[in-house]
Each structure stands twice: as C-alpha cells, then as structure tokens.
Chains A and B, each alone.
Chain A
C-alpha cells in the first residue's frame, strides 16, 4: 500500500471518530455514531497492517496482542455492572497512558520504524515530542490507577494530605522538566527515559491522592483529557494524522467535561486539584446552624399516600441511589405513580454521582425513558409547581445553604430547588451531613418529611404501599 493511500485512510478514520462524537448530540443518533467509531478504528488498524514493509515476525506479535487484549476488553465490557462504570472508565484511562509509555519506548528503540532517525541518532524534535508524550502518559497511568482505587473503594475516598505536598509536586514537576532537557540534549539515553517514566508516575500518584472521593467526576474527566494529550504527543512523535486528530478531540472532550463539572460545583479547577475538599474543616458553619431542631420523619406508607394524591412528582437521584442500586425500585415506583395518573419526572444535577452522566446511565439501565429525565436548567423552574420532590441519596446538590450561607463550603453551587415543592420526601440513612460536610437545613423545614433507611429498601416499601 502506498504511503499516500495509508495517510488517506488514517484521515478517513479520524473523520469517522469526529462523527462518533457528533452522534452523541442526541440519544437517537448516538448508536450510529458509535458504529462510525468502530469502523474508523477498523480502517486505521487495517491500513497499518497493510502498510508496506511490515515484517512477518511482527505480525505474530501484533495478532497475539490484539487477541489477548481484545478478549480481555470484550469480556470486561460485557460483564461489568453499570454501577461500576466510573472505575472502569478510570481503568481504561490508565491503559491509554501506559500504552503511550510503551509506544514511546518502542519509538526510542526502533526509531527507523517511524522515520525519525536511527538508534542513538534520533531527531531532536522527535525526542522532545517523545518525552512529552511519555511524561503525560505516565502521569495519566498512575493518576488513573489512584482514581480507580478510590472509586473501587480499594483505597479510602478521603483526601490524603501532608505538609509541603504541593511544594513536593512542584519540585517533582521541575525535575521531570530538567530531565527532559537532559534526555533531549544527550540524544535520548535509555536510563534517563525510564527515570522520567518513573518520576512522572510518582507525580501522577501524588497529584491524585489529595483529591476526595466525590471530586472524582472532575478527576476522571481531567485524566480523560490527559490521555488525549498523551496520544497527541505520541502522534507528533510518530507523525501520525489519525493519532494527532483523535488526541486533540479527546483532550478537548476531557477539558470541557472537567469545566462542566467544576461549574456544577461552583469551584475552580485549581480548587479541586489542590484537594483536601470534604474533610472535617468544611462543615463548621453548617453544623452550628443545625442545633437541636426537630425533624419530621415518616414511613413508606406516609410517602406512598402523599405521592398517590399528588399530580406532579419530581424524583431527584444522587450517589446514594447508585450505592444502594435503587434505580430499578425507583422506576417501579414511577410506573405505579404513572398508572395513578401522576406526572413523574427526574431531575439530574451535573455532579450527581461519580462521573459525568452517571445518573442518566443508571436510570436508562432501569428502563426509564430518557424523555422523562431532565437536566438542572431544564427542570429547576418546575419544582414550584410540583407537589412532591422525592430526593433519593442526594444531599449537597439540594442544600439551600448554597444560596444563602456565604460561609458554607458549597456556597454558590447551583442547586436543585427541591425546597420549592409542596412536600419534600428525603430518603437518607441518617442525619449525617453529605460529602461536603455541610448540614442540610432542608431537613428541618416544615414541608420536609425524612424517610430514614436504605434507599432501595425504602423505595421498595413505598412500591408495596402503593400496591394496596
């Protein structure tokens, strides 16, 4: 195959990847988009296999790698539980990062394969691109591993903080930069390459450990972005169009998602990255306001009675729903209510759950039609006309303190105005405050009824009561 044809095929693959993302603008076109993505990948792989000069001994390794990796990937994709998606995505990011490290190592050992020089005589520009791709890839790898461990609860979600943490990271970053200069100046010595890899992995590790469990949506988005930039760095090294375009797309995508998540919390990306959010210090102002006021608590039968007589119910799911795996019970409850003629909708906060769009996927899994599910801006005005807001495992995103209490850790965060509904049914295990460590004054409002218990069990009891 001529090199022009190969390049043309890479370009076609890149265009198909753009169409894959384009398809996600609506659920209707999304499946077609995903198929475009698969076709694009098949074209890119086929074009590479058919490239002039590929050696037979290489084919054996390639086919073996695709079979082993493909089987593992397909198995995981089919068997993973939808509640475990955030950690799966984090794990996938780490693989992209590690793959970038290995491709950079391959390019260093076989520069002729990429036309970037001969061993020990690699072009300076290629060495720069290679080491940048290597460093970002290594950071992505270890950072994503930590995110994975926190999401999978292999590691505590609480931030790990110590003195001079940020100074240490800064020094480490500077050392890596200096080593990149040494690496390029000395024409690409192997030892320096691997020292950079190890230090960058240490940096990725240190960057993520101070960030708390519930900030993981931002972290996962940011690592998504990093994996794209790592791919880009490698794309420049090996001068491959498809890789550069795709890397830029993924990098932009992750950056936008990080921005959306930060905006959903009214926090700057630096505030999230410096970490430490969600520790005890955050809750001072709220806890003082809590005092010994009384709360009204009810049971499933009360809740069923109230909702049966309502004309409009808005369900607000949060991370608590995911933990309790209550999405199926919630949908069953909604079906019963709809049968009674009640208008049922779902309201989703941008940072509900542990990854962007987490709640939407869980509700879709429970067969909730997507036209019943609304984003914050779309539905927030409707709480004032709703009879019931059914809040299930969402605390901070409904806390009115975000609007009124300037001293609160979550002040300024856009919230769902559940307080405006005639009755707020709040399912919660206990009176403990949410992740941000801020007490929710909503619990003490006269129009709030607390339903203490496990989200799934409580909702199932409501369903039983509705049956009568």
Chain B
C-alpha cells in the first residue's frame, strides 16, 4: 500500500470520527436536561430500594428474643426525622415554621432519648449463665 492511499484513508477516518463526535454532542445536549431532572429522584429512589433490601436481610438476622429491643431501637433511629424538624426551624423566618419545627423537634427528642435509653435498659437485663 502506498503512503498516499494510507493518508487518504486516515483522512476519511478522521472525518468520520469528527462527524460521530458531532452527533454525540447533539445527542447529549438533548439528553442532558432530561437527565438532570430525573437524577435526584432516581438517585434517592435507588438508595431507598437498596436500604429496603439491607433492612430486610439485617432484620431477619435479629434473634426473636430481642424483638422487643428491636422495636424500641427502631423508635429511636426513626426519630432521625429530627433533622427535618431542625432545618425547618433553623433555616426559616416567621412564626409558623418555627412553631411546627419546635413541636417536631420536641416530639422527636422524646423518642430519641426514650427509645435509645429504654433499649439500653432492656439489653442490660439480658445476661448469660456464664
């Protein structure tokens, strides 16, 4: 093969690649807004579903003898809803958000302290013979 033909082919290939890149560019510019809109929700949904699976397998491993402490500790951890309450209180102006935030912070705090402490009390009673 002579060098001229080779150069010709290379030129053609480069042209093709350029064309392809151009098309990809248009394609991605079409797809980008759609992806940006869907992303946060799909991302959260992914985490949610994976967490459901984690929960399923972890909870089946809980020994039945500790089902009461399990319920009490889930009370404690589900009160992480306090995060939402704190943000509503701390990042806003006006009486209503503050009032709702304060009420939710208070209720969640009852659960956080109550849930974890009563779990601790229960668990401290479980003793082995040895």
A residues adjacent to B (C-beta < 8 A): 10, 13-14, 17-18, 20-22, 24-28, 30-31, 33-34, 37-38, 40-41, 44-45, 48-49, 51, 53-55, 57-59, 61-62, 64-74, 76-78, 80, 82, 85, 88-89, 92-93, 95-96, 98-100, 102-103, 105-107, 109-110, 112-114, 125, 220-221, 224, 227-228, 231-232, 234-254, 256-257, 260, 348, 350, 355-358, 360-361, 364-365, 367, 369-373, 375
Q: Compute how far the CA of A18 lies from the CA of B111 in the bound complex, rounded to whole angstroms.
A: 18
Chain A residues whose CB sits within 8 angstroms of the CB of B116 once the complex forms: 34, 37-38, 41, 77
Interface pairs (21), CB distance under 8 Å = A20-B77, A27-B123, A34-B69, A44-B83, A48-B83, A51-B87, A55-B91, A72-B113, A73-B110, A74-B117, A77-B113, A92-B72, A99-B82, A99-B108, A236-B44, A240-B83, A246-B80, A257-B59, A350-B64, A355-B68, A361-B125
Task: State whether B70 touches A253 (Cβ < 8 A).
Answer: yes
Instruction: Decide if B22 is an interface residue (CB 8 Å cutoff).
Output: no
Within 8 A of A (CB), among B82-121: 82-94, 96-98, 100-121
Question: Which residues does chain B contribute within 8 Å of A40, judged by CB atoms?
Answer: 77, 80
Contact yes or no, A58 B91, CB < 8 A: yes
Q: Which of B40, B68, B85, B89 is close to A360, meaning CB atoms less than 8 Å apart?
A: B68
B2 on the A face (CB < 8 A) = no
- The answer to whether B80 touches A13, judged by C-beta atoms less than 8 angstroms apart, is yes
B81 contacts A231, CB within 8 Å? yes
In the assembled complex, B124 has its CB within 8 A of some CB on chain A: yes
The answer to whether A73 and B80 touch across the interface, beta carbons within 8 angstroms, is: no
Contact between B70 and A246, CB atoms less than 8 A apart: no
The reply on B122 being an interface residue by CB < 8 A is yes
Q: How far is the CB of B97 from chain A (nearest CB, A)?
A: 4
In the assembled complex, the Cα of A13 lies from the Cα of B81 at a distance in Å of: 13
Contacts A70-B113, A109-B96, A357-B65; is A256 near B56 (CB within 8 Å)?
yes
Q: Are A252 and B52 in contact (CB under 8 A)?
A: yes
* B101 and A102 within 8 A (CB): yes
Question: A369 vs B48: C-alpha distance in the bound complex, in angstroms?
Answer: 39
Is B71 among interface residues, defined by CB-CB distance under 8 A? yes
Let me know if B63 is at the binding interface, CB within 8 A. Answer: yes
Q: Which residues of B contact A370 (CB under 8 A)?
A: 65, 126-128
Does the CB pair B76–A113 fall under 8 Å?
no
A92 and B111 contacting across the interface, CB-CB below 8 Å = yes
A350's closest neighbor in chain B, by CB?
B64
A45 to B116, CA, bound (A): 15
B12 within 8 Å of A (CB atoms): no
CA distance A386 to B31 in the complex (A): 72
Complex interface: chain A residues within 8 A of B90 (CB): 48-49, 51, 54-55, 58-59, 62, 113
CB < 8 Å neighbour of B91 from A78, A113, A228, A373: A113
| Complexed CA–CA distance, A72 and B110 (Å) | 6
B interface SS class: helix
A-B contact count, CB below 8 Å?
401
- What residues on B are CB-neighbors of A88 within 8 Å? 114, 118
Against A, the Cβ 8 Å flags (1 = close, 0 = not) of B28-64 are 0000000000001100100111011011101111111
Identify the interface centre among A73, A247, A370: most chain B CB within 10 Å of its CB: A73
- Shortest Cβ distance from A92 into B: residue: B75
Contact of A34 with B84 at beta-carbon distance under 8 Å, contacts A73-B111, A360-B66 already known: no
Instruction: Determine whether the beta carbon of B114 is less than 8 Å from that of A103.
Output: no
How far is A243 from B108 in the complex, measured between Cα atoms in Å? Answer: 13
Are A45 and B82 touching (Cβ within 8 A)? Answer: yes
Can you list the 6 inter-chain pairs with the closest CB atoms, starting with the nearest? A69-B109, A106-B88, A252-B55, A65-B105, A357-B67, A73-B113
B18 within 8 A of A: no
Evaluate contact between B102 and A249: CB separation under 8 angstroms: no
Task: Looking at the assembled complex, report how far the CB atom of B107 sits from the nearest CB atom of chain A, in whole angstroms.
Answer: 4
Find B78's partner among A64, A85, A221, A228 (CB 8 Å cutoff). A228
Residues in A neighbouring B9, C-beta threshold 8 A: none
Once the chains bind, are A242 and B44 in contact (CB under 8 Å)? no
Q: Is the CB of A62 within 8 A of B48?
A: no
Asked if A245 contacts B51 (CB within 8 A), the reply is: yes
**Cα–Cα, bound, A367→B47 (Å):** 42
- Which residues on the B side are within 8 Å of A71 (C-beta)? 113
Evaluate whether A244 and B69 lie within 8 angstroms (CB atoms) in the complex, with A41-B80, A55-B90 already known: no
Residues of B within 8 Å of A350, CB to CB, are 64
B69 to chain A, nearest CB (A): 6
Nearest CB of B to A51, in Å: 7
A99 touches B54 (CB 8 A): no
Query: Which residue of the partner chain A has the closest CB to B56?
Result: A252
Chain A, residue nearest B52 (CB): A248
Q: Which of A13, A62, A231, A232 contacts B86, CB < 8 Å? A: A62
**Which residues of the partner chain B approach A244 to less than 8 Å between Cβ atoms?**
44, 47-48, 51
